[in-house]
Amino acid sequence: MPEAVITRLDAVELGRALRAGVHRLLERQEHLDRINVFPVPDGDTGTNLALTMAAVLGVLKRPADHAGRLLTEVADAALDGARGNSGAILAQFLLGVGDRVGHLAELTPVEFAAAVEGGARYAREALAEPREGTILTVLQDVANDLGAYAGSRAADFRALLGHAVARARVSLEATRDQLDVLHRANVVDAGAAGFVELLEGIACYLETGQLDESDVRFDAVSSEHDSAGGEACLEHRWCTECLVSGDAIDRRQLREQLAAVGSSLVVAGTQRKTRIHVHARDPGEVFRIAATFGTVSGEKADDMQRQQESTLHAKRRRVAIVTDSAADIPDEELERLDIHLVPVRLHFGDKGFLDKVTLGPEEFYRMLAASDVHPKTSQPPAGDFRRAFEFLSSHHDAVVSLNLTGRASGTRQAAESAAGRVAARERVTVIDTRNASAGQGLVAMYAAECADAGMDAAAVAAAVRAVLPRTRTFAYLPTLDYGVRGGRVPAIARTLANLLRISPLLAISEDGQVGIGGALFGRRDRVGKFVRFVDRRIVAGRRYRLIVGHGEAPVDGRRVLEALTARHPGIEQSWLVPCGAALGVHGGPGFLVVGLQEYDPPGAPPPT
């Protein structure tokens, strides 16, 4: 049994109490997502708070002998892992707590109350436009009440935290009527509710002395998928975040500049490390401004419009579909089928971009042709996949991720790593498409159509695996210059190709291996020869669909598409798309790619 009175908290007990609070918050993630309507009803507050606080668990599980230093390390980890508006605010709150008592090896109730007051003040100062009826209000109400209570009552942490929880619950319930959007939805503020869950977990541990360290496991999502918020028009569509590191970051100037390009702005951190969260029309502009204040890392931009649409799709679709931006998918199909895209990272020297988010195809090929520095691509970090999986699994029964061939990239491994760390890990399936670009796009589209047809995750995965051998990707490279510059092609291969007047054709085999599939001889009508190469791989009498992608060569791409569809009436659907950076960095301007899929509607028996 715990002591009747707890007069001091050392690092060990403080760490255990915080772990209990974090676990309680993680258990309530899905509920918090469902009541999220402010600042936008994108249904991800629980996910963002869970990811933010999960980042501190590593710190809390290490041996600690100084309570103040532990809180400082917790704040630093939260700042690094902060996600979303509420996550950034909570990280700033913890920073204020750590700054107030970082020098103390143990904490008394009075010192703890003072730390909470410092955290509440830091949190409010981080926002460009503080709003009442949010987590800020609950933080301030708890801080004010704890200060008065700790100064007038016996020094007992159990009584102090019990009082704090009671005050927090009253303050949280009041948020229901403090903001119109909360009142209309008849919910409390999700971010504030997350803080209250954290506080209740801490109080429960101090009361019982019991800490459940078992993994958080969610029950299957119920059939009722409605979230509290309705559809809203988003003036600033992209939830944009990054970390800025420097020697003397002027957070006031940074806040002023960012306030001009977005809303829901939080600038949290210190002069050495600052976390930015802002809703913006153009994430690239946010990163450009941030780069003038220091070194930018951890760039992230989530499409809140797509998140909002996903919560509406969840009412009729049990399975969410995710792919990476190496997949080239027609914009209208991406929207219609509600496919979620995790962007590949791209770097031109020291400038970083998110493929198809902060750098579109047209600008990419213009920069590629003009730059002396060849760009480098890198797979999305596991954290990007994890964020998508956490959000989607809180709104759908399951998630299926279709990724770039594992023979060419570690993207699938990153997705698998993320899936293993998601709380609802048994509801996330990762599949290697054994394709890239247009072929990968066709696989993702087929999976989304299966989900739209009402299939569960197992049926979607089985249907996708059945269609993989019937989905092929072919590419024509007019030059090997970009492959050589990127280090994927030896210079001698380019020299020989030029001497022999050969243009190589790439093909992805059934096992996902990218290799030479053929060659075009001579310099005349190479596009026509590419058409004939693909034509020979189409079987008469079968049903197909086709995506033709191009590297800033729409005229040639249109020619390929029209020639193939004219020759083969079995091609029932076809699209022309600009290709992103994932393949374009190696193909360069003028390259062409064809994704060809022998196609039957979801649920139809495969051809014999």
With residue 132 as reference, give the H or E element that holds it.
none
Q: 356-415, pLDDT tens digit by residue?
A: 999 999 999 999 988 889 999 999 999 899 989 988 988 899 999 999 999 989 999 999
- Phi, psi for residue 271 in degrees, rounded to 5: -70, -15
State residue 287's pLDDT score. Answer: 96
State residue 153's pLDDT score. Answer: 65
- DSSP code at position 355: B
Q: Which of 178, 262, 4 is nearest to 254 (CA)?
A: 262
What percent of the chain stands above pLDDT 90?
A: 69
CATH number for the region 234-309 comes to 3.30.70
State mean pLDDT over 455-479.
Answer: 96
State mean pLDDT over 239-268.
Answer: 93
Q: 295-326, pLDDT tens digit by residue?
A: 999 899 998 888 777 766 555 689 999 999 99
Query: Which of 429-438, 541-550, 579-588 has the least mean pLDDT?
Result: 579-588
State residue 5's pLDDT score. Answer: 85
Fold of 470-598: Hypothetical Protein Tm841; Chain: A;domain 3 (3.30.1180)
User: Whose structure tokens read 């290697």?
Assistant: 432
- DSSP code at position 216: P
Rounded to two decimals, the pTM is: 0.77
Sign of the Cα pseudo-torsion (191, 193, 197, 203, in order): positive
Q: What does the longest C-alpha to C-alpha distance in the chain come to?
A: 91
Q: Is 176 helix (H, G, I), strand (E, B) or coil?
A: helix
Confidence of residue 480 (pLDDT cuts 50, 70, 90): confident
CATH number for the region 11-208 comes to 1.25.40.340
Q: 149-163, pLDDT tens digit by residue?
A: 887 665 789 999 999
End-to-end CA distance of the chain: 70
3-state secondary structure 74-116: HHHHHHHHCCHHHHHHHHHHHHHHHHHHCCCCCECHHHHHHHH
State residue 133's pLDDT score. Answer: 94
Contact 283, 239 (CB under 8 A): no
State residue 387's pLDDT score. Answer: 87
- Numbered ranges of CATH 1.25.40.340 in the chain: 11-208
Structure-block tokens of residue 421: 């760390």
Contact 493, 413 (CB under 8 A): no
Helical segments of 153-225, H only: 157-174, 180-185, 190-208
Instruction: State yes or no: pLDDT of 565 exceeds 80.
Output: yes
With residue 298 as reference, give the H or E element that holds it.
strand 295-303
DSSP percent split of the chain into helix, strand, coil, nearest 5: 50, 20, 30
Structure-block tokens of residue 267: 């600038």
Contacts of 374 (CB under 8 A, 6+ apart): 482, 485, 486, 585
Give the whole-angstrom CA distance, residue 490 versus residue 373: 18
CA distances from 261 to 241, 319, 344, 351 (A): 13, 35, 24, 20
State mean pLDDT over 126-139.
Answer: 92
State residue 3's pLDDT score. Answer: 59
State residue 234's pLDDT score. Answer: 65
Q: 193-231, pLDDT tens digit by residue?
A: 999 999 999 999 999 999 877 655 433 233 333 445 444
Q: 324-367, pLDDT tens digit by residue?
A: 999 999 999 999 999 999 999 999 988 889 999 999 999 999 99
State residue 229's pLDDT score. Answer: 47
Identity of the residue numbered 407: R
- Numbered ranges of CATH 3.30.1180.10 in the chain: 470-598
Mean pLDDT value across the chain: 89
- Parallel/antiparallel/unpaired status of strands 319-324 and 398-403: parallel
Confidence of residue 517 (pLDDT cuts 50, 70, 90): confident
State residue 402's pLDDT score. Answer: 98
Contacts of 197 (CB under 8 A, 6+ apart): 21, 24, 25, 27, 28, 32
Q: Which of 418, 287, 404, 293 is nearest to 348 (CA)?
A: 287
State residue 293's pLDDT score. Answer: 96
Number of H helices, E strands in the chain: 24, 17
Structure-block tokens of residue 253: 């100037």
> What pairs with residue 451 in β-bridges?
none
State mean pLDDT over 570-589.
Answer: 94
User: Whose structure tokens read 């049903």?
Assistant: 543
- Numbered ranges of CATH 3.30.70 in the chain: 234-309
